[in-house]
A and B are shown apart, each in its own frame.
Chain A
Amino acid sequence: MDRLQYLFDALTPFNLLLALAGVVAGTVIGALPGLSATMAVAVLVPITFAMEPASGLIMLGAIYTGAIYGGAFAAILVNTPGTPSAIATTFDGFPMAKRGDGDLAVTLAALASVCGGMVGAVALLLLAPPLARVSLAFGPVEYFWLAMLGLTLIAALSEGDLLKGLIGACFGLLLSMVGVAVVGGDVRFTLGSPYLIGGIEVVSALIGLYCIPVLLDMVGTPEAHLKVSTAPRGFRLKEALGISWRYKFNLLRSSVIGTFVGILPGAGGSIAGLVAYSEARRSSKRSRHFGTGEPEGVMATEAANNATVGGGFIPTLVLGIPGTPPDAVILGALLVQGIRTGSSLFTEQAAISYTFIFGLLIATVLMLPTGLLIGRYAYKSIVTLPKAILVPTIAFMTVIGSYAIQNSAVDVVIMFVLGIVGWVLARYGFKPSPIVLGLVLGQIAEQGFVQGWLIGSATDNRLGMYFGRPISMAIIAFIVLSLFWPLVASRFKIGGKTGGGAPAPDAPRKEKPAHVD
């Protein structure tokens, strides 16, 4: 296979150095709430102008994959998903950290991310052109149903109080409609303010809804932020490897889901983690423990979201349609370099493409040692820093982070307001996750539905548009399965009883609702 020669092109000391620097920089940036992969990549684009295209790409890809992984730290240790793709990491990651297993969760996230990243990159290497065709088969209606599939997770997340979950989701859907509608151009729910015309920025909403309540509770309660273990336990790598081996099918399934959903431009990142999480939950013997600090939940999300990196590059490189916002920046850098995307990128310009893909693989492997070290450091700082330093530092980061996304002070205000709203709602038993799902998926669902309606009306086939297309029918089948599974499970007592069993003897049953999420 002559592609292997490109492996050696990628293995030059300079490229290795770039990959290493990229992964380290990306992981650190991703770990800080609000500093996103998109921004990290955008800031570094000018530096790549002076490089060989392949080297520049390797660095940008390394930063990107590092940043997606780094997002897990904030999600696990401070309950704040730095990107929409890490939302589901908080569900079990933060409860694990609360009960003193933060180090284990961080190590598991590293292993899962590397696994997912490898699967995504290998798919990019071997299957890019055919998989790009799949992304073209997804029309507006498929996006609509996919968003619906993501929304069904609300049923699972709100076990015990479905009504509050649905109310939260509706609030989130309303938030998603603020601003100028993509379809129709109407200005909605802006309260007459020009500042809201741009809508609610998702990441600042995430920071507000998840992080502010945690900060308020840190100030309001005397206990330590995370439970500290007495004995030093190192990386707990052996334990983590054992757990990963036990749940290898979960890892593999989540990685494949991440890759496939990742190839869908615009939807990939945010939906991949959610779908992988809900599939892991559904097929697990321990599904009742999901949401209370189940390692499988962290693994599923982290494997899936790193798989979207490789998956997202498939439409970017083959079709020129960026799969995710960071892909869009990288695509722009390519165009400035004078490189045209398309199938020729894999034939005439194969040297650049394959060197880059191998570079991405190398960066993913490098993520293991660097990720473990940085993760260990992040965990130690969060655990050992006194609250008097930790709280102002995180609060400062939330402000910087929400400002930096769009260089907009309005986003900081939105972050604060939603944070207070989220904290108050949590007192009454409303969790932030259904709100966030509504906000993230609402736009995708709405646009897909209306576009489908327009196309269906034009061809005089509305019913067939929504229900007659094969991919739609498959997704609808999953939705039905996902919706009724909790009923079936409780009926036949699948998933064991609540509260019992290893490895969570002191699961945070007594925590406030804000945390159990």
Chain B
Amino acid sequence: MATFRKILGAAGVSALMLAAGPAFAEYPEKSVTYIIPFGPGGESDITARMQQEFFPKYANGQDVVIQYKPGGGGSQAWAQLNDMPADGYTIMGANVPHTLLQPMIADAGYKTDDLAVVHYFHYTPDAIVVSKDSEFETLQDLIDYAKENPGAVTFAGSGSNSANHLMQQQLDKLAGITTTYVPFKGTGAAVQAIMGNQTTAGATYSTVGVNYPETRTLAVAADERLPSLPDVPTFKEAGIDWTGGAYRGVAVPAETPDDIKRKVSEIISAINADPDFRRKMEEGGFVLTPIDMDAMPEFLAEQKAKYRGIAEEMGLVEPGQGQSQAQADDASAGQATQSQTQ
């Protein structure tokens, strides 16, 4: 299979090389393997595919070859990243909050700080989405209904203890309501339930609202309205103080030399700055982010504190354990142990 893949990869590379002109003797000198820790067809794959198209333009005409290593919601690939060749020719997708929550909740085979992420290049804001023929026109309608009927509002989302699940919990807390979260296997299955009115609404991502015309988005968890959904208010506009979503980035094995790490980070930044790439990503509902190596420590510290606090509130972790700076000593310890997964 590897040879087969190489032949096909080579066919693509040589075609692109012809167009790209002579290559320089600096990184990258050959094609780079880009491992997606999920199966094909998901948003991690789609956004990597978008980068794939532009990669040769900013990387000496070299191609990226995308490989999939799914399993355990990404944890299987992340647990193996640091055992891979640290020469810059193996890079891997990395996701927040997945890489924060998984090691927090259970032994995922890796620690958050093991992952050398060099760039978070975009995020998809959380969003509340209903089917087009739903009776709910605004987030306030939905909240009012949930207040009158505690527990009756059902949210479809992808997986348990996931970003979607966390958003539903936050919405419950911030709006003072009780709703039911129904986990599905993947966003596609959740969208099917939303569009078919199997659940009241969906706790999902803004990309769903952009890419599925049969849906209506009630609110997005971004700082400003999205260019792809100009009529949809943010949570803040709707009176709920919540911004968040899934960030996707690129990690390398930790032993990779610093200059190569920096080079990978620069290539990703350059792709992010390409007007065609920007346009394609924004049309798809993705929000580009400039979180390169310099911005990384601050970003990670902020996200860690945020998700640790939420995970403690949900009782997923013991308060105060690990390197948390969150002031969550007042969370109920009994509740935490009760729903520990492992």
Residues of A within 8 A of B (CB): 35, 38-39, 41-47, 49-50, 135-140, 179-187, 194-195, 197-199, 201, 265-266, 315, 319-322, 325, 327-329, 331-333, 335-336, 338, 340-344, 400, 403-404, 406-408, 410, 443, 447, 451, 454-455, 457-460
Contact = CB atoms under 8 A, between A and B. Distances in A.
Classify the secondary structure of B's interface with A.
Answer: mixed
Classify the secondary structure of A's interface with B.
Answer: helix
8 contacts: A38-B39, A44-B8, A186-B341, A325-B40, A408-B76, A454-B180, A454-B182, A458-B153
Interface string B54-95: 000000000100111111110110010000000000000000
Given A138-B196, A187-B106, A320-B212, A332 B40 contact: yes
Contact of B108 (A136, A137, A194): A194
Counting chain A CB atoms within 10 Å of each CB, the highest count among B8, B184, B198 belongs to B198
A266 B49 contact: no
Given A198-B72, A321-B191, A321-B192, A338 B280 contact: yes
Contacts of B108: 194, 197
A310 B46 CA distance: 23
A376 to B, nearest CB: 23
A46 B45 CA distance: 12
B49 A140 contact: no
Contact of B193 (A139, A327, A404): A139
Nearest to A141: B198
A335 B280 CA distance: 9
B75 A194 contact: yes
A458 B154 contact: yes
A322 B154 CA distance: 23
Contact of A140 (B67, B180, B193): B193
A320 B210 CA distance: 11
B40 A42 contact: yes
A320 B211 contact: yes
A333 B45 CA distance: 10
A38 B40 CA distance: 8
B227 interface: no
B183 A455 contact: no
Given A50-B15, A194-B108, A332-B40, A181 B160 contact: yes
Counting chain B CB atoms within 10 Å of each CB, the highest count among A43, A137, A460 belongs to A43
B25 interface: no
Interface string B97-119: 00000000111110000000000
A180 B72 contact: yes
3 closest Cβ pairs, A-B complex: A328-B41, A198-B71, A185-B160
B180 A182 contact: no
Contacts of A332: 40-42, 45-46, 49
A452 to B, nearest CB: 9
A336 B197 CA distance: 29
Given A328-B188, A335-B46, A338-B280, A136 B195 contact: yes
Given A342-B214, A343-B213, 12 more contacts: A46-B12, A136-B197, A265-B188, A320-B212, A336-B280, A403-B1, A404-B1, A407-B67, A408-B71, A457-B180, A458-B152, A460-B152
B183 to A, nearest CB: 5
B41 A331 contact: yes
B69 A406 contact: yes
Contacts of A344: 213
Contacts of A194: 72, 75-76, 79, 107-109
A187 B342 contact: yes
A186 B341 CA distance: 6
